[in-house]
């Protein structure tokens, strides 16, 4: 059974990507007349530039938070180094497999003589903290009848990242994933003494709050892109904030979609398209996907230039 699932896994990824793209293309075809009539507002260009800057700031801040996570695993890293590595590797999440940004961070950590297990644990914990930080915002997008489910999920995630529960899980994953496989640091990493080196000794509250700020910055970038094509009333903010956060969360956790491409857009269209003009929703998510990719590419370029400057100085 396991071998069968392993064989089907690549096809499942392509099925997810294909289904979401089909849904988006079909929706675009049905509402093309609305989309074709969308025009930027008089200040639309300015808002798109600000959206790009805010989104780049969000990714930069996320790299800073990753440095905090590494320190929770007792790794002596500087915040500038962690931010630079995060930005340089983040663009790789758009490659097939959606794991290469994680792999790049692990390799960079080994070059810096950090524990391979600790860096691996940090890249496992980072999306979990992102999900935990996103759930409270997602509650804004669901109805009251389902709100308690989101609340339970948030409590479950917050309890799950407590060191007493998290450390044994990370140690087991480290032994399973790293022993004798892709990383050269095998025997020491899989030994009991090696696993003790990276145990979290306190609740990761600071990284969790940092990820909450990342969610706020990232969603603000989307709102600015929306503002470039349509006005936003104060009463629309909760649904837009929550709906986009839900779309981004599903893009984060659904396997097979590199960078959440397709999943984010399809979810945003499904959630927001019932309350807002479909043409506006399609245009906004398209603009923001372009802005997000540009921000990540700019972040990678800045990180490479920054790294070269550090080497020559």
Q: For the segment 146-185, what is each residue's pLDDT rounded down to a tens digit?
A: 556 666 767 777 787 888 887 887 677 656 554 444 444 4
- Is position 192 within any domain? yes
| Closest C-alpha to 300, from 125, 91, 17 | 91
Residue 273 in this model has a pLDDT that exceeds 90: no
Q: Please report the pLDDT score of residue 196 as a whole number.
A: 52
pLDDT band at 60 (very low <50, low <70, confident <90, very high): very high
- Is position 55 within any domain? yes
- Is position 116 within any domain? yes
Contacts by residues 185-190 (CB-CB < 8 Å, ≥ 24 positions apart): 185/110, 185/115, 185/116, 185/117, 189/115, 189/116, 189/117, 190/117
Residue 103 in this model has a pLDDT that exceeds 90: no
- Is position 12 within any domain? no
Task: Tell me what percent of the chain is helix, strand and coil, each rounded to the nearest 5.
Answer: 80, 0, 20
Cα 43 from Cα 33, distance rounded (Å)? 23
Residue 2 in this model has a pLDDT that exceeds 80: no
- Is position 260 within any domain? yes
In terms of residue numbers, what domain contains 242?
Answer: 41-312
Residue 239 in this model has a pLDDT that exceeds 50: yes
Q: Please report the pLDDT score of residue 182 as a whole number.
A: 44
- Is position 21 within any domain? no
Residue 17 in this model has a pLDDT that exceeds 60: no
- Is position 3 within any domain? no
Residues 6+ apart with CB under 8 A from 251: 257, 259, 260, 261, 263, 264, 267
- Is position 4 within any domain? no
Q: How many domains does the chain have?
A: 1
Residue 191 DSSP code: S
């Amino acid at each position: 059974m396991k071998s069968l699932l392993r064989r089907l896994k690549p096809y499942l990824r392509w099925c997810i990507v294909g289904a979401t793209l089909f849904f988006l293309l079909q929706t675009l075809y049905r509402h093309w007349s609305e989309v074709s009539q969308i025009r930027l507002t008089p200040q639309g260009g300015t808002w798109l530039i600000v959206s790009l800057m805010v989104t780049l700031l969000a990714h930069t801040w996320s790299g800073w938070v990753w440095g905090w996570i590494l320190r929770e695993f007792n790794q002596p890293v500087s915040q500038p180094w962690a931010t630079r590595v995060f930005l340089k590797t983040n663009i790789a999440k758009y490659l097939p497999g959606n794991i290469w940004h994680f792999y790049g961070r692990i390799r960079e950590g080994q070059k810096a003589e950090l524990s391979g297990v600790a860096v691996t644990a940090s890249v496992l914990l980072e999306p979990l903290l992102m999900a935990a930080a996103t759930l409270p915002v997602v509650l804004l997008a669901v109805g009251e009848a389902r709100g308690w489910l989101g609340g339970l999920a948030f409590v479950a995630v917050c309890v799950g990242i407590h060191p007493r529960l998290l450390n044994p899980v990370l140690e087991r994953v480290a032994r399973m994933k790293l022993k004798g496989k892709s990383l050269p640091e095998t025997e020491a990493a899989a030994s009991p003494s090696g696993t003790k080196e990276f145990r979290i000794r306190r609740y990761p509250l600071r990284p969790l709050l940092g990820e909450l700020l990342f969610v706020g910055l990232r969603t603000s970038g989307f709102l600015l892109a929306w503002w470039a094509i349509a006005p936003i009333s104060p009463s629309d903010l909760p649904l837009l904030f929550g709906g986009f956060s839900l779309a981004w969360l599903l893009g984060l956790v659904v396997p097979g979609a590199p960078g959440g491409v397709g999943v984010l857009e399809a979810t945003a269209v499904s959630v927001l398209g019932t309350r807002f003009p479909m043409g506006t929703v399609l245009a906004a998510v398209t603009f923001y996907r372009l802005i997000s990719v540009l921000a990540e590419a700019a972040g990678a370029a800045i990180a490479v230039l920054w790294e070269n400057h550090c080497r020559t100085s």
